[in-house]
Amino acid sequence: MPNVKLFKLDVLDEASIAQAIAATVQAFGGLDAVVNNAGYGAVGAFEAASPEQVKRQFDTNVFGVMNVVRAVLPHFRQQRRGHIINVASMGGRITFPLYSLYHGTKWAVEGFSEALQFELAQFGIRVKIIEPGAIKTDFYDRSMDLFKKEGLTDYDAYQALTFPNVQQAGADAPGPEVVAKAIFRAATDGSRKLRYPVGSNAPLLLLMRRLLGDTWFMGIVRSIVEKKK
């Protein structure tokens, strides 16, 4: 495909980010949008997470996003336009058990992106947040990092109860095409809209989170994820 090119980019390697941006500008004569989609889920009881797992989760999901944004901003500022599209999650505004680290990173991406759009509006740069709900991808298997700590068994019963219920959401979810369409819409709709919830459950859950108090909403979450089979 003549209009499709692949460039190596590691979000934790600043040199590779700079090289990929330079190669893209050279190949296409400019750069209109950057999509930050690198990420994975580190899952389990927080106490079982090693310091290395904590660091790796934030390095990829948060600092990787910041590395790419920092690298592309000089180009966008110079041309006085551009779109930064950060893929967060509905889990950047609501939470589920066993995902405390993952939620921590996505809440960070939400806050970073929301504050950034104030700074960059003066340069014609638009910041967009994509908020997928459950999406049927390998996020729920190959891409998942499960915590295990030798001798720590106190969370086993709760994890055995809740983990299958959370996993079921991925099995019943729409495919990644719905997210791709939302990203395209965010890059081309010409609006200053900040957030794009996407997926069969995200818009409704985020609306409920806004309208209901903590006690009611968390009660609903518990009724779903702590449901016994």
CA distances from 100 to 12, 83, 95, 229 (A): 22, 29, 8, 24
Cβ atoms of 77 and 116 closer than 8 Å:
no
- Are 136 and 175 spatial neighbours (Cβ–Cβ below 8 Å)? yes
Which residues are designated catalytic? 102
Q: Which of 168, 177, 174, 186 has the alpha carbon at shortest distance from 225? A: 168
Residues 114, 129: Cα–Cα separation, whole Å: 8
Task: State the amino acid at position 186 in one-letter form.
Answer: A
* 160 CA to centre of own chain: 25
